[in-house]
Amino acid sequence: MSVWYTIRESLEGFRRARMAAAITTFTVAFALVLMALVYIVASNLGRVVLNLRARVQMEAFLDPSLTDQEAQKIEDRIRAVAGVEQVEFVSKEKALLEFEREFGEDIFSVLDDNPLPASFRIRLKPEFQRSDLAKRVADAVGQIEGVDEVVYRGDVLALLDRYMGIVLLGGAVFGFLIGLGSVLLISNTIRLAILTRANVIEIMQLVGATNSFIRRPFVLEGMLQGTLGGLLAALTLYALVRAANLEIPNLVVVDRRLYLVVVLVGWLLGALGSAVAVRKFLK
């Protein structure tokens, strides 16, 4: 009996304050779309950053006097360094060919010997493709006897780390503020619904109704507003992502589970907002 009463009263409350409930639902939907877009931008930017990090290679230049056997021993030691995923030997001849191919002219033709040293190109494991960990690997490789110099774009990795940190922090703060605003908005709408029924609530308390019995319809009403806002936000988000990918294929990559998360977050915001409003009133 109490279950049907709760459902009936929550729907009745939604009907009585149609305008306020509709405004709240659309505002929550807008807020959820903004939160989801921030997440999508951050996650896609993260994907780009990971791809850029993977392209940053480390190159260890060798002492020109090393023999092939000594170079092989150095390669084995480099492979043993924590964080190293792949090692490729670049001979002096290959380095010269690559130089000529890149610059389009044989500027060393006047020289008797090839001045370019042999080297090892090192690719780092994904978890080590950060400026601080990459430096640790570079320092370890540089201490190996026979390695003259270790070169890598640490400045690029540091720049990527910094901007990624700014985006993640900004997204988290923005999402928190939007979520807090949504909770307060739903709380205000439910509080208005409670005030319109203040006399009924007082009578229910006089006849022995528990606070939990009184609270349930209002909490369910808030959850309904949040869920409807979440559904509307998920549909809007799907349409925006689809439109963007129709213009430029694979421009935006979105896990389909995100749409479900948006609906669940809407439900949670509704539950929190209504719970806050009812708790204040029933104190």
187 & 272 share domain: yes
Residues 109 and 86 in one domain: yes
Assess whether pLDDT exceeds 50 at residue 200: yes
Find the range with the poorest average confidence among 10-24, 170-184, 243-257: 10-24
Residues 273, 222 contacting (CB under 8 angstroms): yes
Predicted confidence at residue 231, as pLDDT, reads: 95
Q: What per-residue confidence (pLDDT) applies to 2?
A: 66
- The reported pLDDT for the residue numbered 1 is 47
pLDDT at position 283: 60
Please give the tally of structural domains in the chain: 2
Q: Does residue 111 share a domain with residue 164?
A: no
Residue of higher predicted confidence among 128 and 106:
128
Q: In the chain, which ranges are continuous DSSP H helix?
A: 2-16, 18-55, 68-79, 92-103, 131-142, 154-196, 198-206, 211-247, 257-281
Domain residues for 254?
2-51+160-281
- Reduced to 3 states (helix: H, G, I; strand: E, B; else coil), residue 216 is helix
Percent share of the chain, pLDDT over 90:
19
Q: What is the pLDDT of residues 153-185, one digit of tens each?
A: 888 888 888 888 888 888 888 888 888 888 888
Whether the pTM exceeds 0.85: the reply is no
Placement of tokens 């807090």 in the chain: 180
Average pLDDT value for residue range 50-71 = 85
Contact 253, 44 (CB under 8 A): yes
**C-alpha dihedral, 275 to 267 to 33 to 18, nearest 10°:** -70
Among the candidates 98, 119, 152, a domain finishes at 152
Helix (H) / strand (E) element for 60: namely strand 58-62
262 and 179 share a domain? yes
CATH of residue 142:
3.30.70.3040
- 33 plus 123 within the same structural domain: no
Structure confidence at residue 94 (pLDDT): 85
State how far the Cα of 146 lies from the Cα of 83, in Å rounded to an integer. Answer: 20
Mean pLDDT across 212-222? 77
**For the residues 140-150, what does the mean pLDDT come to?**
91
